[in-house]
Structure 1
């Protein structure tokens, strides 16, 4: 597949992740994610396989039902696509043992996805968890100069 096709697949993948219609999102995921996908990042450790990846996604969906990605950059080389931007949403469900706060959050994310034969086979996701935890009121850090 071409670099442009891989970018398109990844953007479709994140549109599926952000789709508020859960049934439609799962159908899209089946078309875009390989059964043997390997995913890493955001406190998940290593997730092996479609079902584990979807379970993590459902946990995030439950925590942030209105969550969505906004990307400032989409960069591709060979079979890898990098997306850089933000994730925003309202904390309405438990996440990593943190009870819902009802707070709006926006934090930076960087993803590296590998596409083979039109499907995501590897995913690395990193988010600014310190900013997320600050916005949820779970941690506070001194400001520079304090």
Structure 2
């Protein structure tokens, strides 16, 4: 199985706003290890997160800059961009364009479906770009 191709497909489907088809690539017993954003750590919770994210950033794009596959895991360095058009994490829409990096790790089950995910997003940079957190050196 080509897990790298499947991982790329997840990003392409999210970029296209096709969360239902994205969900087809995810196992029913999926576990989200990133958590912390107010959504259950289940498949449905993760799909709801992306639906909400696309409401907040309708032009949301995930562009893979590096992807490494080994065994049942893949790792990607991804640049994420979009325009803040809807409430996000309690922040009202700003109309601001954002651009942040993230690292994703996906594990695949025997059927080739994503069954686990770990992620690290540069939330500080995102919140600075949205004007929620000041930029520059601390006072």
TM-score with structure 2 setting the length: 0.90
Name the SS of the counterpart of 2:40 in structure 1.
strand
Write out aligned runs for 1:1-146 (5 A): 1=1, 5-20=2-17, 25-41=18-34, 43-44=36-37, 47-116=40-109, 117-143=111-137
1:16-41 residue CA offsets vs partner (Å, 9 max, x unmatched) = 11114xxxx13312320111111132
1:143 positional shift: 3.2
Give the Cα–Cα distance (whole angstroms) in 2 for the partners of residues 36 and 10 of structure 1.
18
Change (3 A) 1:45 1:126: farther
- The offset of 1:43, in angstroms, is 3.3
Q: What TM-score, normalized to structure 1?
A: 0.86
1:128 shift after superposition = 0.4
State the alpha-carbon separation in 1 of the partners of residues 82 and 35 from structure 2: 16
Q: Which has the higher helix share?
A: 1
Tell me how many residue pairs correspond in the alignment.
Answer: 138
What secondary structure does 2:91 align onto? Answer: coil
